[in-house]
Amino acid sequence: MLHVDQIFAATSGATRSTLASGGESVPPPFTVTRVFTETELNSWLAVGLVLAVGLYLYGVYRLRLRGDRWPVIRTVCFLGPGLGGIALVTLSGLGAYDTTLLSVHMVQHMVLSMIAPIFLALGAPVTLALRTLPVRPRKRLLAIVHSRIARVYSFPLVAFAIFVVNPFALYFTGLYEYTLQHEWAHELVHAHFIATGCVFFWPLLGLDPLPGRWPYPARALLMLLSVPFHTVLGLTIMQSTTLLGGDWYPSLHLAWSDPRNDQVVAGGVLWAGGEFVSVTMLAVLVVQWIKQSEREARRLDRELDRQEARQRAAETTA
């Protein structure tokens, strides 16, 4: 059995019920109610989220002061499902149980690496910064965006390889158990999920002026190739006879949760959630592709109209 301080570290601050024997404690059963009652704002991530919200809203405010418009939908995407999604799975009760239940951790994984980065990209924060920053900081940001490192990591094939390989390296080595035992490593994994998702999805969505953007057919093909990845990873976790995290979850001795059953649920979350997000993202790319084709067709029509007008003017003059 674990001591009280060990259980406390494992549950990330979840409410605990005291056992009669030995004064030891275990986290209470996870319920939907605890998602809202176990909220904590004492992490570095909370500070980062507040700072990101403030900077984004200040940029929108600066644009409006000078009479420029910024699409409301971009602000909603960035602050709502984007930053809000990160807050939901890290600062709420989900975050409190992320080292207690593998299934909760997998929900975090999905949101931090796929859902939140997509909406952060739709918020176009780089474009907003370039439109509001003074000349010198804007030049520095452009230099970073178009640097060699940014070009390498944002190249779709490189980003795709990182996105696919990372979960296998995390869950099927001793690394995942290490992150459960050390809070700083666990927090670093959260940041890594977000960064990996942004590197993969931002060039595909193409709203910000990032290097290495492919034409829409290639982007859609790359997204299509990512669909089987979550199926393979999810099914592998569901069918594995070895518990992820080693002895960590059995050592918690939770009477209300069986680690093997929870691992099956976790694999199912990764499988179903990954396919849903990938297919939805594929649909978004197809819609963007169609809209781009329509804009190009309208541009060609306008050019043809101008040519015909010039030709008629020339004939009239003659």
**So what's the pLDDT on residue 292?**
80
The residue-averaged pLDDT of 227-235 equals 89
Query: Rounded CA gap, 311 and 318, in Å?
Result: 11
* Residue 228 pLDDT greater than 90, yes or no: no
Question: Domain map of the chain by residue range?
Answer: 4-317
- Collect all residues with Cβ–Cβ distance below 8 Å to 309 and sequence separation of at least 6: none
**In the chain, what percentage of residues exceed pLDDT 70?**
91
- Stretch among 35-44, 91-100, 134-143, 247-256 having the lowest mean pLDDT: 35-44
Say if residues 102 and 246 touch (Cβ distance below 8 Å). no
Q: Does pTM top 0.85 for this prediction?
A: no
pLDDT digits (tens, 9 = 90+) for 155-170: 888 989 999 899 999 9
* Residue 8 pLDDT greater than 60, yes or no: no
CB atoms within 10 A of CB 285: 21
Inter-residue long-range contacts of 142-146, CB under 8 Å, 24+ positions, other chains counted: 145/209, 145/210, 145/211, 146/211
Q: Enter the tokens of residue 53.
A: 């919200």
Cα distance between the two ends of the chain: 99
**So what's the pLDDT on residue 35?**
82
